Amino acid sequence: MQFIDPHVHMVSRTTDDYEAMAAAGVVALIEPAFWLGQPRTEVGSFKDYFSTLVGWERFRSSQFGIRHYCTMGLNSKEANNEPLAEAVMELLPLYATKEGVVAIGEIGYDDQSAAEDKYFRQQIELALELDLPILIHTPHRDKKNGTYRSMDVLEEHGCDPTKVIIDHCNEETAREVLDRGYWTAFTIYPGTKMGNARMVDLMKQYGPERIIVDSSADWGISDPLSVPKTAALMLQRGISEADVRKVTYQNAYDAYSQSGQMDEAHWQDAPEVDQNQLFSGNSVLRAGRRTSEQVEDADNIVY
């Protein structure tokens, strides 16, 4: 099967992860702009991070035959540093219109502070102006209220729920998010978010419509193979292949291709994946073990 992981932070992952994802059938992924585990203190750090998302990381991914897209946004945690947030807001329009940017995100609430609210609203307006989908990060703490409040604010600004993905949903928030018409995303992330057995139960309860599965794998203990592994468990527990495909490929594709920046032809025809660029002569696969047995021997490395 082919999969899309619509939420994964590849800047924190290794080439082993890329290899494993490609081998497991991941053909495309979306890397939302987020925080890096510790707060940035300079706007230049954001600029370089955004440039990495549309440049180096996209290239790194392509070398493994996986098509890389991203979302652009100021995350809620770092929105609390207001002078910095102002500078990032000035930077955003420059990146939001780049090729392969499929949404404004991940935005929303962390502590639900006044500053978070301010920049959340400004970014909703930016998404509306550019006619881009929105990816919402729902908070870990006070999740239910944070999730409902996010939807209230989106609706106050006149957003169309079919252009919004509400992520990190759980058993407590799923019903309301679905009922209000949003794409409802679940993150299979051990410990803090969903487990894949719980995800199977949710599928049995709600069916496949508007449900999206992602990994949100990042710098924490997480699994970039969450999407294919959850798909395998779903199949094993009797969910039809058509339904599994919807939640691990098609729904994410339908939601994000509304940006006009994502097209199946990108990975099906793969015109930009040049085998010569893929397997030889670059710093990622540097004289790599993938090139040939010969090089392996020549490097005197025993695998």
Partner 1 sequence: MNPTLHHLLQKHLPPKANTWLEGKLTALQTDFQPRSFYLAFGACPRFLGKDPLTFTEAELSSLTVAYPNFSATEWTTDQLGRILLATALPTETNVEVLDTLFGTADYRELIALYKGLYFLDNAPDFVPRTREGLRTNMTGVFDAIALENPYPARYLDEDAWNHMVLKAMFMQRPMYRIYRIEDRKNAKLADIFLDYAEERRSAYRPVSPELWRFIDGFVTDRARTALEKTRETGTPLERRAVEKVLAPDAEAVSWNVIGREVETALAG
Calpha distance 240→102 (Å, rounded): 29
In the bound complex, what is the minimum distance in angstroms from residue 303's beta carbon to partner 1?
Answer: 16
Q: Give the shortest CB-113-to-partner 1 separation in angstroms.
A: 29
The helix or strand, by DSSP H or E, that contains position 264, with its residue range, turns out to be none
Q: Which residues bind partner 1 (CB under 8 A)?
A: 47, 50-51, 54-56, 58-59, 94-95, 97-100, 260, 275-277, 280-284, 287, 294-295, 297-300
In the complex, what is the shortest distance from the CB of residue 142 to partner 1, in angstroms, rounded to a whole number?
36
- Tell me how far, at minimum, the Cβ of 281 lies from partner 1, in Å: 3
Q: Which is nearer to partner 1, 24 or 87 (CB)?
A: 87
Closer residue to partner 1 (CB): 142 or 264: 264
| Beta carbon nearer to partner 1, 11 or 115 | 11
Complex with partner 1: residue 16 or 90, whichever CB lies closer? 90
Q: Whose structure tokens read 């495309």?
A: 28
Smaller CB separation from partner 1, 87 or 284: 284
Which two three-digit tokens encode residue 228?
A: 């294919």
Residue closer to partner 1 (CB basis): 58 or 149: 58
Which secondary structure element, helix H or strand E, spans residue 219, and what is its range?
Answer: none
| Residues 66, 12, 174, 241, CA torsion sign | positive
- Choose between 94 and 197: whose C-beta lies nearer to partner 1: 94
Cα separation values, 163 from 59, 124, 273, Å: 28, 11, 30
Nearest distance in Å: CB 18, partner 1: 15
CA distance 283 to 88: 31
Q: Quick check: 138 and 169 in contact, CB under 8 A?
A: yes
Q: Which one, of 9, 20, 155, 29, lies nearest residue 75 by Cα?
A: 9
Distance in Å, CB of 277 to partner 1, minimum: 5
Residue (56 or 219) nearer to partner 1, CB: 56
The distance of closest approach from Cβ of residue 33 to partner 1 in the complex, given in angstroms and rounded to an integer, is 14
Backbone torsions φ then ψ of 290, nearest 5 degrees: -80, -15
Q: Report the alpha-carbon angle 121-126-127, nearest 5.
A: 95
d(CA 177, CA 206): 12
3-state secondary structure 109-165: CCCCCHHHHHHHHHHHHHHHHHCCCEEEECCCCCHHHHHHHHHHHHHHCCCCHHHEE
Structure tokens that stand for 64 in this block: 């493994």
Q: How far is the CB of 275 from partner 1 (least distance, A)?
A: 6
Token pair for 255: 């939601």
